[in-house]
Amino acid sequence: MIFHKLKIFAVKHNINSLGTLLLLCVMTGACTRNFDSINSNPNTSTTSRADWLATSMLTSITSSDINTQNSFVLPFLLGKYVLWTQGNSQAYQYNKLQRTDFTRLTVLRNIALMNKYAASDPTTQNSYAGLGHFIRAWQFFQLSMQVGDIPYSDALKGESDGDIQPKYDAQKNVFIGILKELDQADSLFASGANFKGDFIYGGNVDKWRRLTNGFELHVLINLFKKTSDPDLKVTERFNNIVSSRPLMRDYTDNFAVTYINVAGSCYPWSSTGVQKNPYTIYSMVSSDVIDSLKARQDRRLFYYAEPAATKIAGGSSVSDFNAYVGVEPSAEYTTTTTARSAGNFSDFNKRYSDLYNAEPVGLFCYWDQEFILAEAAVRGWISGVPAQAYYANGIQGSMNFLANYTGAATSYVHGMALTAGYIANYPSTVALGGNTEDQVNQIITQKYLANFFQDVDFNGWYENRRTGYPVFALNPNTNQNIPGTQFPVRWMYPQNELDYNGNNVGAAIQSQYGGHDDVNQAMWLLK
């Protein structure tokens, strides 16, 4: 999805035309000192700019990941937030993981070029360098989370060194590299000035620092099984960030994409006069979301979903919690289609399809950071602030976000607005309690509920894989994983890597998984 009109900065050469012209010059002696000007196309740019490249790369790592209705919904199918009733298009719903790709790495080739152009302005040079390190860390993290070991140290040497078959780095070393790059990004943003080309934060380096540090906490919490590793220094790093660096303050610091009323630039699920969505006839909200919200009397239910038609026909009010019906994502396909045909299900809230700007879509949000801090406090990594305070911040951050972007007076809240009083009081009704594991369960469940149609890079599924929460039902009769008695834990390596970098990917598969590249093999991070 393109959110900004990007300037074209590629230099194009027509080799055949140039060769013909040179031949004519030799034959006729007609070459002149004006040769270069004759062959310059005044309508193309022969140079680029740092801000253009920044815009292009940010588009690639944000909006391009969710540029169709299908690509937007897929992570939420795997994360059991929603169901899909379109033929055989529910592979993720039924836990079928196949091969991924390494296309995330292609955008990183522009970082060196961006830094080259940025060198012409010393005031913003560090800012662009910081952005480059953040983008690298973001992309390498997302890719390693899918497969484990990946090319890292040699990943971009094809152009500089002619190395088109990069070796693979162990996942531990990839994570060490990611953490170092995020440290570098924070330092560079701190010494840089506001820069151009950023449609997320308007080039505000303070906001970029806060995102960088919040995201580094996210990387570290994923290393919670590695706290004894002396190379990683997980808790030491975590404490240093919390005690000495700026962090995200509220939902206005979200790493999120906003939308405009232009075809291709509207909210991904919208179906309006300028952007049609033919898939709204297949969508359903899962029981994992509906039942969890109902059990907690959580008014976010009325912002996420529509009441079931059968319940309204039976006399229920749109403001009645019991008017909302979730369908189990692991149920037989015929069960889900029957429920949809009968109107005995809750659809996505109509604001998601009615509005071109339903809400900004976050890739990492303020409430993620606060739930991470709450988990760290419960695990004993940090002290001084009670886990309940961070936990409450996360819940209230999500609710304030919804209240701000939906509005209390609209039909989209079904008469159950998230008022200031409700938001202030709600966290005490779901207060943390029990042992450490009980509290981690509560925290991850609230993080899951806050991220309905947010955190689009499979984070709901990753959290379940990491902690086991929230608990997803496993139905051997519908599970498309083999064996059907377990969930998959990773994607397989790309076919292109097997075809063109077979020795290196083969060595990575052997060292990690005993030579078996299948979806049930646990990567280093999970052990």
Query: Helices 287-295 and 436-450 meet at what angle, rounded to 10?
Result: 110
Task: Summarize the confidence of residues 17-44 as an average pLDDT.
Answer: 36
Domain that holds residue 112: 102-247+499-527
Q: How confident is the model at residue 60 (pLDDT cuts 50, 70, 90)?
A: very high
Backbone dihedral angles phi then psi of residue 361, each to the nearest 5 degrees: -100, 120
Residue 81: band (very low, low, confident or very high) from pLDDT cuts 50, 70, 90: very high
Higher pLDDT, 12 or 313: 313
* Residue 30 located in a structural domain: yes
Angle between helix 436-450 and 459-467 (nearest 10): 170
Instruction: Judge contact between 55 and 257, C-beta under 8 A.
Output: no
Does the structure show a pLDDT above 80 at 160?
no
Token pair of 382 as six digits = 């940090």
Assign 54 to helix, strand or coil: helix
Kindly report, residue by residue over 321-352, the tens digit of the pLDDT: 999 999 999 999 999 999 999 999 999 999 99
In the block, tokens 């990007």 appear at 6
Confidence of residue 88 (pLDDT cuts 50, 70, 90): low
Domain count for the chain, please give it.
3
Q: In whole angstroms, how far apart are CA 344 and each of 314, 316, 357? A: 11, 13, 28
Say which residue the tokens 């060292």 belong to: 511
From residue 27, how far is each of 31, 34, 440 by CA, in Å? Answer: 10, 18, 80
Dihedral in degrees, nearest 10, Cα atoms 388, 392, 393, 396: 180
Question: Does 4 score more than 60 pLDDT?
Answer: no
Tokens of 375: 């988990």
Identify the helix (H) or strand (E) that includes residue 374: helix 366-378
Nearest of 511, 519, 504, 517 to residue 465 by alpha carbon: 519
Domain co-membership, 470 together with 505: no
Model confidence at 264, pLDDT cuts 50, 70, 90, reads confident
Which of the four pLDDT bands, split at 50, 70 and 90, describes residue 71?
confident
pLDDT of the residue at 300: 98
Statement to judge: residues 191 and 272 lie in one domain: no
Mean pLDDT of 368-391: 98
For residue 425, pLDDT over 60 is answered with yes
- DSSP structural state of residue 284: E
Give me the CATH number covering residue 295. 1.25.40.390
Residue 215 and residue 331 in one domain: no
Pairing of strands 255-257, 283-285: unpaired
Is residue 213 a part of any domain in this protein? yes
Average pLDDT over residues 199-205: 98
On whether both 235 and 204 belong to a single domain, the answer is yes
CA 175 to chain centre: 18
Gap between the terminal Cα atoms of the chain: 37
351 and 285 share one domain: yes
Q: What is the mean pLDDT of the chain?
A: 91
Q: Is the per-residue pLDDT at 472 higher than 90?
A: yes
How confident is the model at residue 70, as a pLDDT? 83
Query: Does 462 fall in a domain?
Result: yes
Position 61 in a domain:
no
**In sequence order, which ranges of 5-63 are alpha helices (DSSP H)?**
15-28, 35-38, 50-61
Mean pLDDT, to the nearest integer, of 143-169? 89
Angle 283-289-291 from CA coordinates, rounded to 5°: 115
pLDDT for position 86: 87
Token pair of 60 as six digits: 């690639």
Do 79 and 140 lie in one domain? The reply is: no
Query: pTM for the complete prediction?
Result: 0.91
Strand 82-84 versus strand 255-257 pairing type:
unpaired
Please choose, from the candidates 51, 7, 59, 54, the residue with its C-alpha nearest in 3D space to the C-alpha of residue 265. 59
Same domain, yes or no, for 272 and 378?
Answer: yes
Q: Please indicate, yes or no, if residue 56 is contained in any of the structural domains.
A: no
Determine, yes or no, domain membership for 304: yes
CA 199 – CA 210 distance, rounded (Å): 16
Q: State the pairing for strand pair 283-285/361-364.
A: unpaired
State residue 492 phi and psi, 5-degree precision: -90, 160
Q: Give the count of beta carbons closer than 10 Å to the beta carbon of residue 123.
A: 10
Q: How far is CA 418 from CA 220, 299, 352, 448, in A?
A: 33, 7, 18, 18
Give the H/E segment covering residue 257.
Answer: strand 255-257
Q: Do residue 263 and residue 357 come from a single domain?
A: yes
DSSP for 435-459 reads SHHHHHHHHHHHHHHHTTT--TTTH
In a domain, 3, yes or no: no
Q: Measure the CA–CA gap between 220 and 238, rounded to whole angstroms.
A: 7
pLDDT value of position 169: 98
What amino acid occupies position 128? Y
* Distance, C-alpha 166 to centroid of its chain: 26
Task: Check whether residue 483 and residue 510 sit in a common domain.
Answer: no
Q: So what's the pLDDT on residue 156? A: 87
**Bond prior to 470 in cis (omega within 30° of 0):** yes
Q: What does the pLDDT read at residue 35?
A: 34
Q: What is the pLDDT of residues 394-411, one digit of tens each?
A: 999 999 999 999 998 899
Q: Residue 6: inside a domain, yes or no?
A: no
Task: Give the mean model confidence (pLDDT) for residues 121-139.
Answer: 98
Q: Is there a single domain that holds both residue 45 and residue 83? A: no
CA 29 distance to own-chain centroid: 60
CA distance 115 to 131: 10
pLDDT reported for residue 56: 96
Q: 484 with 505, same domain?
A: no
Q: What average pLDDT does the segment 384-403 reach?
A: 98
The pLDDT score that the predictor gives to residue 64 is 78
CA dist 131 and 117 (Å) reads 14
Give the other-Cβ count within 10 Å of 144's Cβ: 22
456 shares a domain with 368: yes
